[in-house]
Amino acid sequence: MVMDIAAIKRLLPHRYPFLLIDRVIELEPRRRIVAIKNVSVNEDFFNGHFPQRPVMPGVLIIESMAQASGLVMLTEEEHRGKIPFFTGIDNARFRRPVIPGDQLRIEIEVEKIRGNVGVVQGKALVDGEVAAEARLMFVLAD
C-alpha cells in the first residue's frame, strides 16, 4: 500500500510543523512500513540547529519513526481516529547526521502488537546508510 500526504493526514493527527512523514512507499498492516521524509533547508528547526551547519535533531528523526509506527496501527479500521502516543525508546543510536537535501527512508518492523500497544524496531536511512535506529513503544488512545 502506498500513501500520499493527503492519505497520511487522514490517519495521523500531526500537522505542520510537526508532521514528519511525506509519503508511505510500502505498508503491510501490523507487520512493516517504509516511509519517506524529505528534509528541506526550509524546516523551522534548522533556524536554531544549527544556523552555520544545519543538522536535523536526533529527537525529530526518532519522532518520524514514531509517526510511521503509528501509521502501521492506524490503517486498521478499529484504530481509526485514535491518537498514537510514543511511550518508550530503547537502544537508540545515531550513526550519521541528517542534513538539508537528504531523503530520510524510515523502515519500521513490528515486533508485537497487543490491543492498543505496539513495539517496533525502527531504522532511518539516508542513501542506504543508517542514520539512526531504535526500538520504540507506543499506545493508541481515544
Digit-coded pLDDT (tens) for 30-85: 899 999 999 999 999 999 999 899 999 999 999 999 999 999 989 888 888 899 99
30: left (phi over 0), alpha (psi -120 to 50) or beta: left
Known catalytic residue at 49: yes
The yes-or-no verdict on residue 100 having pLDDT over 90 is yes
Contacts of 88 (CB under 8 A, 6+ apart): 136, 137
Q: How far is CA 10 from the centre of its chain?
A: 16
Note the pLDDT of residue 30: 87
Catalytic residue among 9, 23, 32, 49: 49
Q: Are 34 and 40 in contact (CB under 8 A)?
A: no
Phi, psi (deg, nearest 5) at residue 42 = -80, 0
Sign of CA dihedral 44, 49, 53, 54: negative
Q: Looking at this protein, which amino acid is placed at residue 57?
A: P
Cell numbers 543538522 label which residue? 55
Indicate the residue type of 104. Answer: L
Residue 126 near residue 102 (C-beta atoms within 8 A):
yes
Task: Considering the domain delimited by 5-141, tell me its CATH architecture.
Answer: Roll (3.10)
Residue 79: its pLDDT value, please?
86
pLDDT at 12 over 90: yes
pLDDT (mean) for 126-140: 97
**Is the preceding peptide bond at 51 cis, omega within 30 degrees of 0?**
no
